[in-house]
Amino acid sequence: MAANRLLERLDAGPVVCAEGYLFECERRGFLQAGAYVPEVVLEHPDVVAGLHREFVHAGSDVVEAFTYYAHREKLATIGREDDLEPLNRQALAIAKEVADETGALLAGNVSNTNVFAGDDESRRAVRAMFEEQIGWAVDAGVDFVIGETFSWHEEAAIALDAIRATGLPAVITLAVHREGTTRDGYTPAESLRLLEEAGADVVGLNCIRGPSTMLPLLREVRAACSGRLAALPVPYRTTDEEPTFQSLTDPGRHERPFPTALDPFTCTRFELGDFARDALALGVTYLGVCCGAGPHHIRAVAEAIGRRPPASRYSPDMSKHAFLGTDTRIRAENQRFADRL
Ligand SMILES: [Zn+2]
C-alpha cells in the first residue's frame, strides 16, 4: 500500500488544518444559525469552494470536506433527509476540486451525531450514520478522515472503529465542555490514550475551548499519550470561570453570546499564533482553529510554526503606515501626530 500523504507530512513536520466552516458561512449570510446544517454546499457551492481556497491561501494544509452536521439526524431536523447523499457527495467534490488544484490534503469528516445515548440502539444508529458518511468520503478518494467534536468517549471510539475499517488514517478530536470530562466520565487524557491505543493516528481536542483553556488540557494529554496530537481551539477568549465558548457571558447584555454574539470575545491573530507556538512546543503537530476562525487566524498559526503561505505576501508591514510608520517616506509631522490618533 502506498504511504499515506497525511502521515508523510506529519513525519516531516506540523500540519495546519482550518476548521470552522459553519461559523464562517453563517457570518457571511449563507448558513442559518440554530440547526447549523451546511445547506450552503448545495445552494451556494461557490461560497464553500471560495472559503476552502481562502483557508489554503492562508496556510491550511488540509481541505476538510464541509460535511460537518451533514448527517442523517441534522438533515432530518430540517426536513431534508432526502438531500443527505447529494449534500455529502457535493461537499466532497468541492473539497476535492480545491485540494487537487492546490496540492492540499483532502479530508473526510464525521462528527458528533447528537443521538448517542450510551445504549445499544443509539450505538447502532451512530455507527450507521458514520458508515454512510465515511463510505462517501472513501468514494471521493480522501487522504484521511477526521472524527471531531465528540463529547462522548464511546461515540468517538465508534467513529474511530468505522474509519479504521476503511484502512484510512483517522484524526480523532474531543470537544471538552465545562466539566472538563467526556459525558461518559473520562478525562480527556484517559479518553485520548484509549483512542490512541485503539489505533487513532492523531488524537486531540477541537472546538469549544479557546486557546487559554485548551492549553492546560493539552499538557495533561501530552503526558498520557505517546503519539501524534491535534489541537484546534475556538478563537475566543475563554477563561477559567467560563472555559467554553458556550459559557461566556457578556456583562450588560441579555443575550447569550454563543453562538451569534461572540464578536467581542474574538482572539487576535497574535493570540492564535502564541497558542500554536505553545502547542507545538508541547509536541502537538496537527494544529488549527475551529468555529470562529478567519483566514487571518489560520495565517497566524501557519506563520507561528515557520510557514510562509501565499497570504504571507500581505502580512502586516506597519513601517509604511501613514502615521505609525517608520519608513523614511512617512512625514515627520504625521509621525508626531501619531500620539493623538
Ligand atoms: Zn468548532
pLDDT tens digit string along 32-91? 999 999 999 999 999 999 999 999 999 999 999 999 999 999 999 999 999 999 999 999
Percent of the chain's residues with pLDDT above 70: 99
Q: On the CB side of 213, how many CA atoms lie within 13 Å of its CA?
A: 26
CA 21–ligand 1 middle distance (angstroms): 8
Please give the model's pTM, rounded to 2 decimal places: 0.97
What is the rounded CA–CA span in Å between residue 232 and residue 216? Answer: 14
Ligand 1 centroid, distance to 181 Cα (angstroms): 17
Report DSSP letters for 9-31, one per residue. Answer: HHHHS-EEEE--HHHHHHHTTSS
| DSSP reduced 3-state for 106 | strand
**With b meaning 16 or more CB within 10 Å and e meaning fewer, what string describes 302-323?**
bbbbeeebebeeeeeeeeeeee
Q: How far is the CA of 75 from the centre of ligand 1 (A)?
A: 19
| Cβ count within 10 A of residue 329 | 8
Mean pLDDT of 315-340: 96
CA 172–ligand 1 middle distance (angstroms): 14
pLDDT of 3 reads 79
What are the beta bridge partners of residue 174? Answer: 150, 205
Tell which phi-psi region holds residue 71, choosing left (phi > 0), alpha (psi between -120 and 50) or beta: beta
Q: Which of 237, 242, 310 is nearest to 272 (CA)?
A: 237
Cα of 325 vs centre of ligand 1, distance in Å, is 37
- Choose among 262, 242, 245: nearest CA to 253: 262
CA of 113 to the centre of ligand 1 (A): 14
| Cα of 161 from ligand 1 centre, angstroms | 22
How far away, in angstroms, is 330 Cα from ligand 1 center? Answer: 43
Position 254 scores a pLDDT of 85
What number is the average pLDDT over the span 286-299? 98
Q: How far is the CA of 207 from the centre of ligand 1 (A)?
A: 4
Helices marked H in the chain — which ranges?
Answer: 5-12, 21-27, 40-43, 45-58, 72-77, 84-102, 120-140, 153-164, 188-197, 211-224, 269-281, 295-304, 332-337
Mean pLDDT of 308-336: 97
* Helix-helix angle 269-281:211-224, to 10 degrees: 10
Q: Which of 229, 185, 180, 230 is nearest to 209 (CA)?
A: 180
Give 58 Cα–ligand 1 centroid separation in angstroms.
18
CA of 206 to the centre of ligand 1 (A): 7
Q: 148 C-alpha to center of ligand 1: Å?
A: 9
Cis-peptide into 259, omega within 30 deg: yes
Please compute, for residue 312, the number of CA atoms within 13 A of its CA located in the half-sphere on the CB side.
14
Decide: 40 and 23 in contact? Cβ < 8 Å: no
Residue pLDDT, tens place only, 85-101: 999 999 999 999 999 99
Q: 151 near 178, Cβ under 8 Å?
A: no
Residue 324 CB contacts under 8 Å (≥ 6 apart), including other chains:
318, 335, 338, 341
State whether the Cα torsion 249-253-254-257 is positive or negative: negative
Give the residue carrying C-alpha cell 482572539: 267
Provide the phi-psi class of 146: left if phi over 0, else alpha when psi is between -120 and 50, else beta. beta
List Cβ neighbours of 320 (8 Å cut-off, separation of 6 or more). 327, 329, 330
CA of 147 from ligand 1 middle (Å) equals: 12
Q: Which distant-in-sequence residues (6+ apart) come within 8 Å of 330 by Cβ? A: 320, 321, 322, 323
pLDDT at 329: 95
Query: Exposed, middle or buried, 252 (CB in 10 Å: 0-12/13-18/19+)?
Result: exposed
Q: Kindly report the CA angle at 209 between 35 and 88, in degrees rounded to 5?
A: 40
With a CB cutoff of 8 Å and minimum separation 6, the contacts of 17 are: 60, 61, 62, 64, 107, 146, 230, 232, 286, 287, 288
Instruction: Tell me the pLDDT of the chain averaged across its residues.
Output: 97
Distance CA 5, CA 111 (A): 22
- The CA 235 to ligand 1 mean position distance, Å, reads 10
The 10s digit of each residue's pLDDT in 146-186 is: 999 999 999 999 999 999 999 999 999 999 999 999 999 99
CA of residue 68 to ligand 1 center, whole Å: 10
Give 136 Cα–ligand 1 centroid separation in angstroms.
22
Question: What pLDDT does residue 2 have?
Answer: 59
Q: Which grid coordinates belong to 199?
A: 489505533
